[in-house]
Structure 1
Amino acid sequence: MKASTTGSRLIGLTLLALLLFLPPILLLFDRPGHSGLSILPFYIFIAWLGIIALAAWILERDHEN
C-alpha cells in the first residue's frame, strides 16, 4: 500500500475520532440507562476501542505489503 493511502486513511480516522468525541454527540449518550447509570462511559470506552482497533488494522495492513 502506498504511504499516501495510509496517510489518507489515518487522517480519515482522526476526523472520525473527532466526530465521535464532539460534545453534542457525547451529550446524546449522557442519559441514564436501564440501571440508572449513565451510558456515557460505555460509549466512550467502545468508541475509543474502535478507534484503536481501526488504527491497528490500518497500520498492520501497511506492514503486510
Structure 2
Amino acid sequence: MNTPRRKERLIALIVLAALLFSPPLVLIAASSAGGVSRLVPYVFLAWGAVIGLMAWLMERRDEEGRDAE
C-alpha cells in the first residue's frame, strides 16, 4: 500500500471513530430499553472495532513493507 493510500485509510478510521463517539450516537446508546442501558456494550464494541481496524491497517502495512524488501 502506498503512503497516500495508507494516510487516507487512517484518516477515514479517525473520522469513523469520531462519529462513533459523537454525542448523538452516544445518547442514543445511553437510552434504556426495558430498563437496561446499552451504553456500556456500545462503548466497548465501538472501541474494540476501532482498535481492531487500526491493528488490521497497521499489520497490512508491515506485511506489504516486508514484501518490498
TM-score (norm 1): 0.90
**% identity of equivalent residues:** 42
Cα distance in 2, alignment partners of residues 54 and 17 from structure 1? 10
Q: List gaps (5 residues or longer) in structure 1.
A: none
Contact 1:6-1:59 at 8 Å conserved across structures: no
Larger Rg: 2
Q: Which has a greater percent of strand? A: 2
Please report the RMSD computed on the Cα atoms of aligned residues, expressed in angstroms. Answer: 1.0
Higher relative contact order (CA 8 A, sep 6+): 1
Q: Which has a greater percent of helix? A: 2
After superposing on structure 2, the runs of 4+ consecutive aligned residues of structure 1 that deviate more than 2 Å are none
TM-score (norm 2): 0.85
1:8 paired with 2:8, answer yes
Give the number of equivalent residue pairs: 64
